[in-house]
């Protein structure tokens, strides 16, 4: 059986705004084989790390899992420390449309908003915003 770390309901690892949860639930309803939102960080991007949001069939061993606004969220153990206290929002305006991650652990981010650095020296050797930005 897979071991899943549950976070207390009062202190989720990260939070979803109601706007993000509403959009996620709509997208999940369009998919037949996925049940959870997976939030992760990945190496790369023009500032060191980039965010990954996607759907998955469920939690894997060691994942932190919690539910917020009716959405089950899973975060892998590597990503969890970098996402602690972050907020996932959904923005839909004339200027931008899509998910945005507001992360208190990011000390700097790229102009594209999808890449960031952390203070503990764990960032990638890439610096500045160059061709690594995906718009």
Q: Does the structural domain 5-118 have CATH classification 2.60.300.12?
A: yes
pTM over 0.95: no
- How far apart, in Å, are the Cα atoms of 86 and each of 56, 89, 120? 20, 10, 17
Q: How far apart are the first and last CA of the chain?
A: 40
Q: Express each pLDDT in 59-85 by its tens digit.
A: 999 999 999 999 999 999 999 998 999
User: Looking at residue 125, what DSSP letter applies?
Assistant: S
Average pLDDT, integer, range 103-130: 52
pLDDT exceeds 80 at position 4: no
């Amino acid at each position: 059986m897979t071991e899943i770390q549950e976070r207390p309901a009062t202190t989720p690892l990260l939070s979803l705004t109601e706007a993000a949860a509403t959009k996620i639930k709509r997208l999940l309803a369009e998919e037949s084989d996925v049940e959870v939102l997976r939030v992760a960080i990945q190496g790369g991007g023009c500032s060191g790390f980039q965010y990954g949001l996607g759907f998955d069939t469920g939690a894997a061993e060691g994942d932190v899992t919690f539910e917020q606004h009716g959405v089950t969220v899973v975060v892998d153990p590597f990503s969890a420390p970098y996402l602690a206290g972050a907020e996932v929002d959904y923005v839909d305006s004339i200027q931008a449309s899509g998910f945005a991650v507001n992360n208190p652990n990011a000390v700097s981010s790229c102009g594209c908003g999808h890449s960031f650095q952390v203070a503990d020296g764990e960032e990638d050797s890439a610096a500045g915003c160059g061709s690594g930005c995906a718009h």
